[in-house]
Amino acid sequence: MTATQLPPALRAYFQSSPVALSLGEAVDDHPLLLTNQRFRDLTGYGSNDVVGRNCRFLQGDSDNREPRLRIRAFLGDEAQTSVRTAILNFRKDGTPFVNLLYMSKLRALTGEVRYIFASQFDVSRTQPERLADYDAALGQTIAKLAPVAAESGIAVEGTLITIANTAATIAQAKMTLSDLDTSSFL
Ligand SMILES: Cc1cc2nc3c(=O)[nH]c(=O)nc-3n(C[C@H](O)[C@H](O)[C@H](O)COP(=O)(O)O)c2cc1C
């Protein structure tokens, strides 16, 4: 499948979103179909670099055992509609960042999961207000995505649980990066 087979309204909506977004196929190894400009701003990777690949390449050589288990549990469980986890990623230029990753499912009327929807945010270089702003923008993006997707017979699943303690989340992410500085990673 290619991005051109996606409903044009969905593609246009993705590009216009103020938050980093990516869309993956629900089958095989979940290859990416679409990423937007904000994803490029965040990761350094443009669509041409990433379409057709599984997004785990952002993790480089890092272990990320816990978050990967959580993501795999989400992908493998029909009934789980969304997941939110921090995960260590690297930009194209090699700079590490802690990605606050949100993932949910887009389901066809026939009941099958058609796409995996995801949004990325650098939680390691931000302020509590900016994380709260991102949460609000992502919530709006998901709410507005629903009617756009519904026109193509696709239901948006998952509810965004907003980050209650933004300061603690950011502090944790910064700690992850400073641990990295002193480890054998770099
Ligand atoms: C649409 C989509 C977007 C994803 N975005 C990211 C991401 O930004 N960063 C990341 O580390 N993993 C991301 N993932 C998760 C990985 O692709 C993969 O599912 C995860 O690492 C668990 O699988 P693994 O243990 O086989 O690697 C994304 C997955 C999908 C389907």
Task: Read off the pLDDT of residues 86-133 as tens digits, 9 standing for 90 and up.
Answer: 999 999 999 999 999 999 999 999 999 999 999 999 999 999 999 999
CA–CA dist 29, 72 (Å, integer): 11
Local structure of 24: helix, strand or coil:
strand
Tens of pLDDT, residue by residue over 27-67, are: 999 999 999 999 999 999 999 999 999 999 999 999 999 99
Tens of pLDDT, residue by residue over 143-178, are: 999 999 999 999 999 889 999 999 999 999 999 999
Question: Ligand 1 centre and the CA of 91: distance in Å?
Answer: 14
Question: Ligand 1 centre and the CA of 109: distance in Å?
Answer: 25
From 18, 17, 21, 42, select the one nearest 33 (Cα to Cα): 21
In testing the pocket of ligand 1, which one of 6, 40, 43, 56 has its CB within 8 Å of the most ligand atoms?
Answer: 56
CB 123 within 8 A of CB 99: yes
DSSP 165-182: -HHHHHHHHHHHHHHHHH
Query: For residue 131, what pLDDT is reported?
Result: 97
Which protein residue has the closest C-alpha to ligand 1 atom 25? Answer: 68
- What's the pTM value of the predicted model, to 2 decimals? 0.96
Question: Ligand 1 centre and the CA of 54: distance in Å?
Answer: 7
Q: What are the chain's domains?
A: 3-177 (3.30.450.20)
HSE (side-chain half, CA atoms, 13 Å) at 144: 15
Query: For residue 172, what pLDDT is reported?
Result: 96
Q: Examine the pLDDT at 136 and tell me if it is beyond 60.
A: yes
Query: For residue 186, what pLDDT is reported?
Result: 47
Query: For residue 181, what pLDDT is reported?
Result: 78
